[in-house]
Amino acid sequence: METVTEIYFVEMLHGLVYGMLLFLVASGFTLVFGLMNVLNLSHTGFYMLGAYLAYSVTVYLDNFWLALIICPIITGIAGLGVEHIFLRKIHSREGAHAAELLLTFGIFYVISELIVMTWGSFELDVPAPEILTGSITFVGITYPVYRFFILAISGAILALMTFVLQKTRTGMMIKAAVSDAKMLDSLGVNVSLVFLGVFGGGSALAGLAGVIAAPFFTAYPSMGLEILIDCFVVVVVGGFGSLMGAFVAALMIGELHSFGVLLFPNIALAFQFLLMAGVLVFKPAGLFGEKNE
């Protein structure tokens, strides 16, 4: 019989797992917004694509680890394609914010439908590799290995991201571009390249998150839309364009999910939207967002 602390601890871990996963997807989402003032709603389409591709790779090539490498590359390239073909042109049009938003949602729709057309509309089980199955026991708690794997990988990526952004020149350019792309452009930096990089990188990251998530959640048709809504909440709560905000918000939402379901199962979903409403009312720019206008 588990003690209350143990139950809470497990729930906290659950929340952490989902939160980290959410962060992986939301980070690209919020960075692209900070850069281009476009909320790219097709972003989570790549998460979905990553998951489905992982299915094919693991089932047909019998190698999960390969999926971890190939799928993000594919989604990254796909992301670059989308940016280049669709968003470039729109971006330079005057007052086209609505069109951009709708366009990205249109692309999301198309990606979703294409996926369903290719893989069917049933849930697909993605088998995890042997060593990652089962549970381990520590401090008296039994916890699935795979969830630790998720934590480990996302933790590693977080560390990598922090390193790149804080310690490398590329990172500095990205931060500068998010802050003020025009200024950077006038300083002679090839801002388009930065855009491409962030876009491609973000899409790859979303794809990677999809691969990791697939054995956990299975690959199913509405996964893109569901996480899109969560990402949206993350960005509103954390602040548009703020990576730190995305991190904090994603973890908050992850924990709200877990504890919400545990303590108030009927209105669990409402919590994250109440959080969102609260932020909107008291700090509309998001917890870490900058003041607008």
Partner 1 sequence: MNKIAKLNSILMWCTMILVLIFAPIVLPVFGIEMATEIVIFSLFAISINLLIKYIGLVSFGHAAFFGVGAYIVAIVLKSVAGFPLFGLLLLSIGSAVLLAAIIGFFSVRSSPSYFPLLVLAFQMLLLTIAMKWRSLTGGDDGMPIIRPDFYLPIIGEINLIDSVNMYYLSLVIVIMALFLVYLALKTPLGNAFLCTKINPSRASHLGYNILLIRWIAFVLSGAMAGLAGGLYVIFQEFVATTTMDLHMSFTAFMMVLIGGTAYYLGPVLGVTFYILMTYFLSDITPHWQLYLGVMFIIIVKYSEGGLVGLIEKLRDIFSHTTKEVFNDVNT
Binding positions for partner 1, rule: CB under 8 A: 37, 39, 86, 89-90, 93, 95, 97-99, 101-103, 105-107, 109-110, 113-114, 117, 225, 229, 232-233, 235-236, 240, 266-267, 269-270, 273-274, 276-277, 280-281, 284-285, 292-293
Q: To the nearest whole angstrom, how small is the minimum distance from the Cβ of residue 244 to partner 1?
A: 18
Choice between 199 and 240, CB closer to partner 1? 240
Q: To the nearest whole angstrom, how small is the minimum distance from the Cβ of residue 262 to partner 1?
A: 17
CB-based contact 37:274 (threshold 8 Å): no
How far is the C-alpha of 211 from the C-alpha of 198, rounded, in Å?
Answer: 20
Q: To the nearest whole angstrom, how small is the minimum distance from the Cβ of residue 278 to partner 1?
A: 10
CB-based contact 237:287 (threshold 8 Å): yes
Choice between 158 and 225, CB closer to partner 1? 225
Q: To the nearest whole angstrom, how small is the minimum distance from the Cβ of residue 13 to partner 1?
A: 26
Choice between 34 and 144, CB closer to partner 1? 34
Nearest Cα to Cα of residue 47 among 249, 246, 223, 229: 223
Q: To the nearest whole angstrom, how small is the minimum distance from the Cβ of residue 279 to partner 1?
A: 9
Choice between 4 and 117, CB closer to partner 1? 117
CB-based contact 228:101 (threshold 8 Å): no
- In which element (H, E) is residue 10 found? helix 4-36
SS3 category, 206:
helix
Q: To the nearest whole angstrom, how small is the minimum distance from the Cβ of residue 163 to partner 1?
A: 31
The alpha carbon of 64 is separated from its chain's Cα centroid by a whole number of angstroms, namely 20
- The helix-helix angle for 97-119 and 223-238 (nearest 10°) equals 150
Q: To the nearest whole angstrom, how small is the minimum distance from the Cβ of residue 128 to partner 1?
A: 31
Choice between 39 and 161, CB closer to partner 1? 39
Choice between 72 and 224, CB closer to partner 1? 224
Choice between 70 and 235, CB closer to partner 1? 235
Q: To the nearest whole angstrom, how small is the minimum distance from the Cβ of residue 235 to partner 1?
A: 8
Choice between 247 and 271, CB closer to partner 1? 271
- In which element (H, E) is residue 148 found? helix 145-167
